[in-house]
């Protein structure tokens, strides 16, 4: 695999083989030698700014950061010495003095890299006064809070926001010092993707928690609280309870939600099946009429906001199909409410999502059905874990229970929505059969799988040769949008997810989140799909039944399953 030259180095007097081009940190990692790090994130460029990973190199006067220094033949490296310990301690003390610690209230307290290092090095947390005590907290829409008094200036969020091509977070000079601040420019606004959140090492950026709003109806009389959880949450929330990456916990999660007080627990995967059926229908219509092509997916609200704010000219190209949890929420308050004779006004729908942008999506007025929002609250994966831990519910040990009928059992296609390429694959599985009337020869569309930033494929469905693109990250979407400027019909159907790797890497997911972890979470979803008997959305009996019993007219379908988009002004 690695054709680079082998070289000999030593770390802490141990002779080791390394490859030219590797950093000291990479070599140390490979040999299980622990070097503390803080600002480094494998998704991002090496910043080398926290200076916590410094090591000694024989013959060099200054210490070298392990994250950025490449190994050289014969290099003798020391990772532990009294001087290094002293330097790391002082730097950590300095970092802690710019981070107003509010640990008891912080939902990162169990995963906080900084706190862990502080404990490990037994630093004096209060050697210096908190210099950011008066720094403000910003809120971006209903989705994200940024407590700048916790910010340690690593600038990971700035890089990530720039990578998203949003550039809403900026480094600006205030007084003697530079700070991270939201942009005042009219041309820039947050799309609520939350990628800044999962790349912040200290929890300065977080989702807007809705804990009280969710907890209150749980003990209030007369409320029916329905929880629904997104496809990707089942393969990530286990991490918060010490389960290995990529453990699927659908039924344990259901049990935990019931224990928390849920009256019903449904699976957003079923919502995804409805989205697929409607979206496949719309794709076929557009291919037929050759209008508003290419069609873009619209189940990612951060991507939708990206279009509405930065590219309103593309609004007609977004599929008008609602996102899975919005459809399911709508069905809960109509179809299910009727069936169970529950007053829709008394139903509280809470979505457990991998996502911060969903907190914004549920507030969109045009989604209301008979004056009611389909979904009342969104908790991120992290937030639910925090709530469960607070209520002493251990996901690891709780006995599994299946979700409720009739909106609790999804097809395999619904599950893969959580990974980049999943929406497209689900739609293709359904569109193919709808158009050709034939059975799919091969259910897997490998071409659109994987976590690459941009995937392209060409697939024949009936007489249509479809040209497809699957993108994750809005920065990569921008590249595709630019391509369309020169060739508007280069693609027929394009899936965009704002988060790296799709929702399994969403802004509401557990930290750390990185390529390795995203891969494990995605793999688990594809395995769960493969294990399902029914793997196509339109064959899900629960979906078939709902179309027979409730979604019988155009009006009803449009009320529950379709939506509109509007150009957006700056709101932050």
Chain contacts with ligand SF4 (rule: CB under 6 A): 140, 144, 151-157, 160-161, 164, 166, 168-169, 180, 190-196, 199-202, 204-205, 300, 302-303, 354-355, 357-358, 497-499, 502-503, 506-507
Minimum Å distance from CB 553 to ligand SF4? 29
* Contacted by 387, from ligand SF4, another protein, none: CB < 5 to 8 Å by type: none
Closest to another protein by CB, 38 or 249: 38
Closer to another protein by CB, 178 or 566: give it.
178
DSSP string covering 123-141: --TTSS--TTTT--EEEET
Nearest 10 degrees: Cα torsion 189, 501, 495, 235? -110
Residue 47 binds: one of another protein, ligand SF4, none (C-beta under 5 to 8 A by kind): another protein
Nearest C-alpha neighbor of 277 from the set 567, 545, 570: 545
Q: Which does 87 bind (CB under 5 to 8 A by kind): another protein, ligand SF4, none?
A: another protein
464 binds, among ligand SF4, another protein, none (CB under 5 to 8 A by kind): none
CA 308 to chain centre: 20
Closest CB to another protein among residues 1, 62: 62
Cα separation of 294 and 296, whole Å? 6
Please report how close the Cβ of residue 16 comes to another protein at its closest, in angstroms. 22
- Distance separating alpha carbons of residues 77 and 142, to the nearest angstrom: 48
Q: How far is the CB of 54 from another protein (least distance, A)?
A: 5
Cβ of residue 160: shortest distance to ligand SF4, in angstroms? 5
- Report the nearest approach of ligand SF4 to the CB of residue 360 (Å): 9
Instruction: State the Cα–Cα distance between residues 16 and 20, nearest whole angstrom.
Output: 13
Q: Which does 287 bind (CB under 5 to 8 A by kind): ligand SF4, another protein, none?
A: none
For Cα atoms 130, 134, 138, give the angle at the middle one, nearest 5 degrees.
120
Binds 94, which of ligand SF4, another protein, none (CB < 5 to 8 A, cut-off by type)? another protein
User: How many whole angstroms separate alpha carbon 438 and alpha carbon 5?
Assistant: 54
User: Given the rule CB under 8 A, which residues bind another protein?
Assistant: 46-52, 54, 62-63, 65, 68, 70, 83, 86-87, 90-91, 94-95, 97-98, 127-128, 131, 153, 155, 171, 176-178
Residue whose CB is less far from another protein, 95 or 407: 95
Cβ at position 177, least distance to another protein in Å: 6
Binding at 243: pick from another protein, ligand SF4, none (beta carbon under 5-8 Å per type): none
Selection from another protein, ligand SF4, none that 171 binds (CB < 5 to 8 A by kind) is another protein
Compare residues 91 and 236 and give the one whose CB is closer to another protein: 91
SS3 content of the chain, % helix, strand, coil (to 5): 40, 15, 45
What does 83 interact with, of another protein, ligand SF4, none (CB < 5 to 8 A by kind)?
another protein
Question: Is the omega angle on the peptide bond into residue 512 within 30 degrees of 0, that is, cis?
Answer: yes
The option from ligand SF4, another protein, none interacting with 180 (CB < 5 to 8 A, set by class) reads: ligand SF4
Alpha carbons 15 and 17: distance in angstroms, whole number: 7
From another protein, ligand SF4, none, interface partner of 421 (C-beta below 5 to 8 A by class): none
Nearer to another protein, 23 or 420 (CB): 23
For another protein, the closer of residues 109 and 179 by Cβ is 179
Q: Give the residue from 167, 143, 59, 147 showing the smallest Cα distance to 106.
A: 147
Q: Which two tokens stand for residue 483?
A: 């391509």
- What are the distances in angstroms from CA 564 to CA 18, 145, 308, 385, 442? 56, 27, 11, 33, 34
Nearer to another protein, 66 or 372 (CB): 66
Taking the complex as a whole, the smallest distance from the CB of residue 158 to ligand SF4 amounts, in Å, to: 6
Minimum distance from residue 258 beta carbon to ligand SF4 (Å):
25
What's the chain's length in residues?
A: 572
Q: Are 471 and 496 in contact (CB under 8 A)?
A: yes
Chain position carrying tokens 């959880």: 229
Based on CB atoms, which residue is closest to ligand SF4, 310 or 335? 310
Measured from the CB atom, is 344 or 507 closer to ligand SF4? 507
Round to whole Å and give the CA distance between 484 and 479. Answer: 9
Query: Is 360:309 a contact under the CB 8 Å cutoff?
Result: no
CB 466, min distance to ligand SF4, A: 23
Positions of E strands within 236-395: 264-267, 295-296, 347-353, 377-380
What's the Rg (C-alpha) of the chain? 25
Residue 341's Cβ-side half-sphere holds a number of Cα atoms within 13 Å equal to: 0
For the CB of residue 371, give the shortest distance to another protein in the complex, in Å: 48
Please tell me whether residue 461 adopts helix, strand or coil conformation. strand
Smallest distance from another protein to CB 205, Å: 19
The entry of ligand SF4, another protein, none near residue 51 (CB within 5 to 8 angstroms by kind) is another protein
Answer whether the bond into residue 294 is a cis peptide, omega within 30°. yes
Q: How far is the CB of 95 from another protein (least distance, A)?
A: 6
Nearer to ligand SF4, 381 or 411 (CB): 381
The tokens 């359904």 sit on which residue? Answer: 430
Q: What is the dihedral of CA 320, 325, 330, 335, to 10 degrees?
A: 120
Structure tokens at 176: 């003697």
86 vs 119 by CB, closer to another protein:
86
């Amino acid at each position: 695999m690695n054709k680079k030259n082998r070289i000999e180095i030593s770390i802490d007097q141990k002779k080791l083989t390394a490859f030219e081009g590797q950093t000291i940190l990479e070599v140390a990692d490979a040999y299980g030698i622990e070097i503390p790090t803080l600002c480094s994130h494998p998704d991002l460029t090496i910043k080398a700014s926290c200076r916590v990973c410094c090591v000694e190199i024989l013959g060099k006067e200054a210490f070298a950061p392990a994250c950025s220094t490449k190994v050289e033949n014969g290099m003798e490296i020391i990772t532990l010495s009294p001087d290094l310990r002293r330097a790391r301690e002082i730097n950590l003390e300095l970092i802690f003095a710019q981070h107003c610690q509010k640990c008891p209230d912080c939902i990162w307290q169990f995963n906080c890299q900084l706190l862990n290092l502080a404990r490990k090095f037994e630093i004096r947390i209060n050697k210096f006064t908190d210099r950011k005590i008066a720094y403000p907290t910003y809120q971006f829409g209903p989705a994200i809070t940024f407590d700048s008094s916790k910010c340690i200036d690593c600038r990971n969020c700035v890089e990530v926001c720039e990578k998203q091509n949003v550039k809403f977070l900026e480094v600006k000079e205030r007084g003697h010092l530079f700070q991270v601040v939201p942009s005042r420019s009219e041309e820039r606004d947050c799309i609520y993707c939350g990628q800044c959140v999962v790349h912040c090492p200290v929890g300065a950026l977080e989702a807007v928690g809705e804990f009280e709003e969710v907890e209150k109806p749980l003990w209030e009389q007369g409320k029916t609280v329905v929880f629904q959880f997104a496809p990707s949450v089942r393969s990530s929330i286990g991490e918060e309870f010490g389960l290995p990456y990529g453990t699927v916990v659908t039924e344990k999660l259901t049990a935990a939600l019931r224990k928390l007080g849920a009256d019903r627990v449904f699976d957003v995967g079923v919502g995804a099946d409805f989205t697929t059926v409607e979206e496949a229908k719309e794709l076929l219509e557009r291919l037929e009429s050759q209008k508003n092509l290419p069609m873009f997916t619209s189940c990612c609200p951060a991507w939708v906001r990206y279009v509405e704010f930065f590219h309103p000219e593309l609004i007609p190209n977004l599929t008008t199909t609602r996102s899975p949890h919005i459809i399911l929420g709508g069905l809960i308050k109509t179809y299910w409410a009727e069936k169970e004779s529950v007053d829709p006004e008394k139903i509280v729908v809470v979505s457990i999502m991998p996502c911060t942008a969903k907190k914004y999506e549920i507030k969109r007025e045009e989604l209301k059905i008979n004056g009611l929002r389909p979904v009342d609250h969104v908790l991120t994966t992290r937030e639910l874990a925090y709530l469960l831990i607070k209520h002493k519910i251990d996901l690891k040990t709780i006995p599994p229970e299946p979700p409720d009928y009739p909106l609790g059992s999804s097809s395999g296609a619904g599950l893969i929505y959580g990974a980049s390429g999943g929406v497209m694959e689900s739609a293709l599985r359904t569109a193919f059969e709808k158009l050709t009337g034939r059975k799919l020869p091969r259910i897997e569309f490998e071409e659109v799988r994987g976590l690459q930033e941009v995937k392209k494929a060409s697939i024949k469905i009936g007489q249509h040769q479809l040209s497809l693109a699957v993108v994750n990250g809005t920065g990569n979407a921008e590249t595709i949008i630019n391509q369309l400027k020169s060739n508007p019909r280069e693609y027929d159907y394009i899936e965009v997810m704002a988060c790296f790797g799709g929702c399994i890497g969403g802004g509401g997911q557990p930290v750390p989140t990185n390529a390795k972890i995203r891969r494990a979470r995605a793999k688990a979803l594809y395995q769960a799909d493969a294990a399902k008997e029914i793997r196509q959305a339109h064959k899900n009996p629960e979906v078939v039944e709902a179309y027979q019993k409730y979604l019988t007219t155009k009006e009803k379908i449009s009320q529950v399953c379709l939506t509109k988009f509007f150009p957006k002004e700056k709101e932050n």
